[in-house]
Structure 1
Amino acid sequence: MSQFWIVLGQFDPIQSQSMSTSKKVIAREEWERKLKEVKIRKDDVNKLVMNFLVTEGYADAAEKFRIESGTEPDIDLATITDRMAVKKALQSGNVQDAIEKVNDLNPEILDTNHQLYFHLQQQRLIELIRHGKIEEALEFAQGELAPRGKENRSFLEELERTVALLAFEDVENCPYGELLDVSQRLKTASEVNAAILTSQSHEKDPKLPSLLKMLIWAQNQLDEKAAYPRINDLSTAALEDTAI
């Protein structure tokens, strides 16, 4: 994939055959020749893979890759297991356990990130509503979340949407039912995961997906000016024949 960017910089479309639509045609042979001329360091590729494994929390795979490739991660791999334990707790709805685990890792994470702490408490409220603990949910909302809502307008709006679930008998099909969907748990878990990574001076998002987005953007830009062997299936990175 890195070869793609370098080829774009090296290729001179003026030397290629012109189409009737004024687009330039880049033959497959010429494109592949340019790709072969580009040298990508194996160490750079290995670092990209390790970055993905660490950020996404694949501790066992990261350890095996470290041994096989000799690529050292930029954080202690043991912390991945702790981070994934937090994620697992949130995905199962055990928010209090997740909060305790975050504090064990680094208490400053929640002390300094008020939005994250509010979202965790909001998730606790959602879980209480999910299990039909109405009285406990109301007490929790009034005692823990309402004071924070008074201090922050956006918090208050989120709290109002969550408490509104209590007004419906069929909460899963009410206007705010998406809060009870598993995607809400995943959203909260992702936010916590990013905060933990940031506290460890690590990127909160893996580099590989960003590079793939850049590839798609670059191809879309090039489509306006030239016909060339495109990569349509990112899972295989196979070059398609030039469409003329």
Structure 2
Amino acid sequence: MSFENPTNNGNNQEEHKHGKPEGYQISRTDMNMLIMNYLVTEGFKEAALKFQQEAGLQEPALCSSLDERILIREAVQNGRIPEAIAMVNSLHPELLDNDRFLYFHLQQLQLLELIRAGRAEEALAFASATLAEAGANDRAALAELERSLALLAFPDPHSSPFADLLLPAHGQKIASELNAAILKMENQEYTNPKLCSLLRMILWSQSELDKHNVKYPKMTDLANATIEQPK
């Protein structure tokens, strides 16, 4: 990974050709701070410290609960949901009592682990005993519960229309949701990475401009920051 400053040796025309005109370049310092904020907020301690050394930044201010958040995230993403819930209750006993939809999401992950393992009877019993009440009281929870249980109707759940629930990305999403809730409990200034908020703002702004048929330099590839000039 390189953190060298981009050179300005006559490449402006080439950058414009590829949809990255000089006027849209973000400074290396600002980009590094956005990346550091993402790593610290999301709980990637080792990556944050390594990035700090390689990018020549000041040592990041690490939250007091960072180590606990790392363990909780790992437990969630590895499917050890009861362990993750126990750690959350130890760290902030009132968190899951106050945020029932987040608690539902964690229990939903536990249900998905049973389905992933092919333990259909246990999955149905768990859903009936643990998740049915949430589904009865919340339409959003009911819809998610129905999608989860629908996986049982397919011989290979990974090939079903609801297979996205079994992808690592789904567990990562819930892990980030839980991480943000912990930061909120600790009155942290930022509960979500600034970079994610910035990308959401870009997408929203572009959507609003598109609705009004406004021509503007549009970011067509977020991963590579490719900007397409208006025709």
Q: Same fold (TM over 0.5)?
A: yes
The runs of 5 or more residues in structure 2 that have no matched partner are: 1-20
In the alignment, structure 1 segments of 5+ residues that lack a partner are 1-30, 35-39
How many residues get paired?
201
1:75 aligns with 2:63: yes
Alignment of 1:1-244 (within 5 A): 50-60=36-46, 62=48, 65=52, 70=58, 73=61, 75-76=63-64, 79-200=65-186, 201-211=188-198, 224=215
Q: Is the 8 A contact 1:50 1:71 kept in 2?
A: no
How far does the alpha carbon of each residue in 1:95-127 deviate from its partner, in whole angstroms, 9 at most, with x for none? Answer: 111111111221121110000000111110110
The offset of 1:192, in angstroms, is: 1.1
- Residues 50-77 of structure 1: CA deviation (Å, up to 9, x unaligned): 53332132323545749x755662732x
Q: What's the offset of the Cα at 1:88?
A: 1.0
TM-score (norm: length of structure 2): 0.67
Higher relative contact order (CA 8 A, sep 6+): 1
Q: Once the two structures are aligned, what percentage of the paired residues are identical?
A: 43
Q: Rg larger in 1 or in 2? A: 1
Q: Distance in 2 between matches of 1:74 and 1:173?
A: 41
TM-score between both structures, scaled by the size of structure 1: 0.64
CA 1:198–1:136: 2 relative to 1, 3 Å: same
RMSD of aligned Cα (Å):
4.0
Q: After the TM superposition, which parts of structure 1 deviate over 2 Å for at least 4 consecutive aligned residues?
A: 44-53, 60-66, 68-76, 208-218, 223-226, 230-237
Could you tell me whether the CA contact under 8 Å between 1:130 and 1:180 is conserved in 2? yes
Q: Secondary structure at the match of 2:190?
A: coil
Q: Letter of the aligned partner of 2:194 in structure 1?
A: K
